[in-house]
Amino acid sequence: MIEIRHLTPVRFGEPVLEVRMRRGVQSYPFAFKALLVCFALLCLTVAGAFAFVGAVPVLGFAGLELVLLFVLLRLSFRRAAAVEGVSISGDATIVRRGGTEAARLQSYWLTIEPSEWENRGLVLRSRGQSVAVGAGLAAAEVSDLAAALRGALHRAKITPAGSA
């Protein structure tokens, strides 16, 4: 999911664009619990049938599978809920990940390129520094992001330094 806010700067250096990106699915507690319960029922039914026949150690492996699934789903949903943001102002482009500043690039020298890997977002480059953004977005969202960033970069460059 991508959220693009075009801003009208009052002075030079104020942001002209703010973008917030969330990767993949959002954290759905109900879906998480429903998937875990369905898999647990299936796993315990199969393990119970094997235990009934005499293969009792299968129950331990069924429990291990459930714990592993729980941990992996939690990690997946936590990573999907991570927020990435880009803010373009007259002199700086700031990339934030999870609320902390990941990179600060000079806006005047900034170039926006597609990632070298297929469907892996964009690469922002400025004076020897580069940062990848939007890695988990869909192709249409990446093109929207690129268009919004290029437009905001143009607006930031033409805004006069002393405008009020």
Altogether, the residues listed in the chain come to a count of: 164
The yes-or-no verdict on residue 161 having pLDDT over 60 is: no
Higher pLDDT, 48 or 8: 48
Higher pLDDT, 138 or 147: 147
CA distances 69 to 25, 26, 80, Å, are 17, 18, 16
Which distant-in-sequence residues (6+ apart) come within 8 Å of 131 by Cβ? 95, 102, 103, 105, 123, 124
pLDDT of residue 54: 92
pLDDT of residue 81: 67
pLDDT of residue 154: 84
46 secondary structure, DSSP code? H
Q: Strand, coil or helix: what is 163?
A: coil
pLDDT of residue 164: 45
At 96-145, the pLDDT tens digits run 887 788 899 998 889 999 887 766 789 999 988 999 888 877 788 888 88
Euclidean distance between CA atoms 96 and 135, whole angstroms: 14
pLDDT of residue 64: 92
At 12-53, the pLDDT tens digits run 666 777 777 765 555 466 777 788 889 889 998 999 999 999
The yes-or-no verdict on residue 83 having pLDDT over 80 is: no
The yes-or-no verdict on residue 162 having pLDDT over 60 is: no
